[in-house]
Amino acid sequence: MRVLVISDIHANLQALEAVLAAAPAHDVAWNLGDVVGYGANPNEAIDRVRGLGNLIVRGNHDRACAGLMGIEDFSENAARAVRWTQRVLNKERREWLRALAAGPVTPEDVPGTSCVHGSPLDEDEYVFTFNDARPSLREAAARITFFGHTHVQGGFASNGEEFFHLTPDLGGGDEAEEAELPLRAGARYLLNPGSVGQPRDGDWRPAFAFYDSARSLLVWHRVPYRVVEAQKRIRAAGLPEFLADRLSEGQ
Ligand SMILES: [Fe+2]
């Protein structure tokens, strides 16, 4: 099975279109959540995502924008974006967001894999470090878990004794780029495709991953996109300036 893995689109339609245009041929698409929030095209992003299939895990911004959770713990910029998104979403799309599944979601067609937003143990947990990753690598039901939420492309692996931090071997720059990670039989993995719509790993290019289960191969991708257009739309919508600025920094 060839899988396109995407996460944290955050209503950035321009980034999503660039990712879909660059994605290798795939059989299914898995979406790890945060379809909306921060960006200026939530309705369009939802419509585009719905056309990709139905394996979608809900993110914290999806829950907030759907009115399923409070925003007391959100930053001021994030909270402003949630309130704006709530105003522009129509009822039908809000209902669609409300109905998204909490992770872990287990794809039926690829045994041994699982999809979550935060971690296999807590949908709101950020997995940034070894300490964050260890319990999940030990206790996750699936051998390979795809996660998002941190907006950092990369992941963690364990052979049962040692733990490894996985960082895509990419050079940076402004062109499309990819890095392969052959997966080892028996090892356990936490794999983050990175964020489509608001990367925070120092690289402004939208991130995604391609997983080929038959070849036990993961490929991390970065692609350029019309970032100026996405920024223009954020400013035109009256969303916080910071949310536009950060897109070109990848922070
Ligand atoms: Fe996110």
What confidence tens digit (pLDDT) does each residue in 118-135 have?
999 999 999 999 999 999
pLDDT of residue 158: 96
Cα 35 to middle of ligand 1, angstroms: 8
Give mean pLDDT, residues 98-126: 96
Asked if residue 104 has a cis previous peptide bond (ω within 30° of 0), the answer is yes
Range of the domain at 10: 2-249
Domain harbouring 154, CATH code: 3.60.21.10
Of 112, 104, 105, 120, nearest to 155 by C-alpha is: 120
User: Is the pLDDT assigned to residue 160 strictly greater than 90?
Assistant: no
Cα 24 to middle of ligand 1, angstroms: 24
Cα 150 to middle of ligand 1, angstroms: 7
Give mean pLDDT, residues 142-169: 96
pLDDT of residue 53: 86
Q: What are 217-227's pLDDT values in tens digits?
A: 999 999 999 99
Of 16, 63, 46, 30, nearest to 223 by C-alpha is: 16
In angstroms, the CA 215 to CA 137 distance is 22
- 64 confidence band (pLDDT: 50, 70, 90): very high
Cα 141 to middle of ligand 1, angstroms: 23
CB 147 within 8 A of CB 117: yes
Cα 36 to middle of ligand 1, angstroms: 8
Cα 187 to middle of ligand 1, angstroms: 27
Cα 163 to middle of ligand 1, angstroms: 25
Percent of the chain predicted with pLDDT > 90: 97
Cα 182 to middle of ligand 1, angstroms: 27
Residues with CB under 5 Å of ion ligand 1 are 8, 34
Cα 59 to middle of ligand 1, angstroms: 7
Q: What are 14-33's pLDDT values in tens digits?
A: 999 999 999 999 999 999 99
Cα 81 to middle of ligand 1, angstroms: 12
Distances (CA, A) of 47 to 35, 71, 89, 200: 10, 25, 11, 25
In angstroms, the CA 61 to CA 192 distance is 18
Residue 118's Cβ-side half-sphere holds a number of Cα atoms within 13 Å equal to: 12
What the block records as the tokens of 98 is 């409300």
- 112 confidence band (pLDDT: 50, 70, 90): very high
pLDDT of residue 78: 97
- Count structural domains, the chain: 1
Cα 27 to middle of ligand 1, angstroms: 25
Cα 151 to middle of ligand 1, angstroms: 6
Of 17, 31, 248, nearest to 148 by C-alpha is: 31
Cα 153 to middle of ligand 1, angstroms: 12
Give mean pLDDT, residues 209-213: 98
Cα 61 to middle of ligand 1, angstroms: 7
Cα distance between the two ends of the chain: 33
pLDDT of residue 42: 98
> DSSP alpha helices (H): ranges in the chain?
13-22, 42-50, 60-65, 76-88, 91-98, 130-139, 227-236, 241-249
Cα 185 to middle of ligand 1, angstroms: 30
pLDDT of residue 202: 96
Cα 48 to middle of ligand 1, angstroms: 18
pLDDT of residue 59: 98
